[in-house]
Amino acid sequence: ARDDVHYFGAGPAPLPTPVLEEASKVLLNYKDKGIGICEISHRSPDANEILAQAKAALTNLLDIPDDYDILFLQGGGSGEFSAAVYNLVSIWVEKRRAKAEKELGESVSEGELKAKVLERLRKEVDEELKLDYLVTGSWSLKASQEAARLVGAQHVNVALDARKANGGKFGQIAAESEWNLTPRKQNGGPALVYFCDNETVDGVEFPAFPSSLEGDDAPPVVADMSSNFISRKVDVRKYSVIFGGAQKNIGNTGITIVILRKSLLPPQSTLASPELLRALNLPVGPIVLDWPTIAKNNSLYNTLPIFDVWVAGQVMSGLVQAYGARKIEGQEEISNDKAKMIYETLDKYPNVFRVVPDKSVRSRMNICFRVGGGDAEKEKSFLAGAEKRGLLGLKGHRSVGGIRASNCKLPRHASPHAHYALLLDKYLRTL
C-alpha cells in the first residue's frame, strides 16, 4: 500500500497524498458540475481560475515581482533548453538589427538600407553571437548540446566545463575567477548565460547565485530549476528566466513553468522576423515555444493541460498554507535539515559510504553516494536491503551509478515526508 512505500525517485516524484485523493475526485466531477476536470474547456472561467490560482501561489512562494510574467508550457525542461535559445538569440538579433538600422539609416537610401543592415548583421552574428553555458552536470551539458545543435557549436561558449578540473567527472564547481564568460559590452555581450541550479543526476547544486552574473549590465541569465524549484529562497530579480518541469518539485508531468522578466517581451523586446533569421542562417522556433506568443495568450495559445496546472496549484497552495508568512523559508529549512541529516550520517562512516560530489556543491535535493567503494555487489545488496524496508527508487542514474536519494527535493506538506529521510538515516546506520 501507498503508506508502506517510501519512494526516493528523482522525478516523477511522490506527490502529497491529500492532493492525489482530491485529484481522484475532481477527475470524475469538478465542482459538482457532473463533468471531470480533464473534460472542461481550457478556455472556461474555471480553467482561468485554476491558472490564476497556480500563478498566485507561485508568486507568493517566490516573491515574484510585478515586472515578471509566469508562463505554463508543454515540452518539459528539455523544451525550454530549445526555447531559451530560440527566444534569446532572436531578441539579440532584433536588438542588433534596430541599432544597425538606426546607425546606417542616415547615410543610405531606403533601398540600400536593408542590404547594408543584413551585411552588418551577418558579420556580427559570425563574430559576436555567443551563448554562454556553465556545464556543471549532465543537464546543463544537454542544454549546451541543444544550443550547439540549433545555432552551431561555434556560437556556444562553454564558460565552465566542471569535469575538466575533476578527473573528467562532474562533482565540483570551479571558482568563478576560472570561468571564461563572454565579456559584457554595451548593447552586446552574450545572448544568454545559462546554468542548471541543481543537477539531478550528478547531485551538484549551486550554493548561491554566481556573483559574476550580477549587475545592471548583466546579460540575460537563464536558470534551470527543474529539480530544486521552490526549495529555497530565490532573488528572482537576478534572473531573466527561471524554468522547470513540474514533475519533480511542483506537480505531475505535463507542464513546464517559466518565470521571465517582462522586459524580454514586447514592447521592450521583440523577436526578429522569421525572414531575417532565415537570411542569417539562424533557427526559427516553433510557435509553441515562442514566449511572447504564450505570454500574450495567458498560456492559452493552444490547449493547456489544466489538470496538471490544478495539481501544481494544489501543491503550491498547500505550501503557502503550511508555512504562512514564512512561505519559502519553511520549505528551505526542511530541505536543509533532511539533507544535513543524511550527509552527516554518510560522512560519519567513510569506510562504508562515499558522497560523490565535492562538499562545497552537495545538492540538498539529490544525494549521490557510493557504498563499499562502489563495489557492484555491495551496492546491489544495499538496494535490496533498502527495498526490504520499503525504501524504493534509490538506484543512482545509470551514467553515475551508485545510490541516489532524492528525498529532500519535494516541497510538500512536510511531516510524513521528513519521515522518509529518518527511515533512510536509520537504514544507513545499520550498515
Contact with ligand PMP (CB under 6 A) among 82, 90, 136, 200: 200
251 contacts ligand PMP (rule: CB under 6 A):
no
Contact with ligand PMP (CB under 6 A) among 8, 11, 309, 421: 11
- Give the Cβ contact number of residue 99 at 10 Å: 16
Closest separation in Å from C-beta 51 to ligand PMP:
20
Q: Which is nearer to ligand PMP, 142 or 233 (CB)?
A: 142
Map residues 126-145 to x or -, x wherever contact with ligand PMP holds by CB under 6 A. Answer: -------------x------
Q: Which is nearer to ligand PMP, 161 or 202 (CB)?
A: 202
Map residues 262-281 to x or -, x wherever contact with ligand PMP holds by CB under 6 A. Answer: --------------------
Question: Mind giving me the DSSP string for 32-52?
Answer: TSSS-GGGS-TTSHHHHHHHH
Dihedral sign from CA coordinates of 277, 278, 282, 288 = positive
Q: CB–CB of 205/360 below 8 Å?
A: no
CA distance linking residue 260 with residue 267, whole number of Å = 14
Binding to ligand PMP, residues 203-242 (CB under 6 A): 224, 226-227
For helices 327-348 and 306-323, angle between their N-to-C axes, nearest 10 degrees:
80
Map residues 18-57 to x or -, x wherever contact with ligand PMP holds by CB under 6 A. Answer: ----------------------------------------
Half-sphere exposure of 397 (CA within 13 A, CB side): 17
77 contacts ligand PMP (rule: CB under 6 A):
yes
Contact with ligand PMP (CB under 6 A) among 70, 181, 196, 361: 196
78 contacts ligand PMP (rule: CB under 6 A):
yes
317 contacts ligand PMP (rule: CB under 6 A):
no
Binding to ligand PMP, residues 290-309 (CB under 6 A): none
- Strand ranges (DSSP E) for 200-281? 204-205, 221-224, 241-245, 256-261
CA distance linking residue 335 with residue 265, whole number of Å = 34
> What φ, ψ does residue 370 adopt, rounded to 5°?
-110, 150
363 contacts ligand PMP (rule: CB under 6 A):
no
CA distance linking residue 128 with residue 184, whole number of Å = 11
What residue ranges bind ligand PMP (CB under 6 A)?
A: 11, 76-78, 139, 196, 200, 224, 226-227, 245
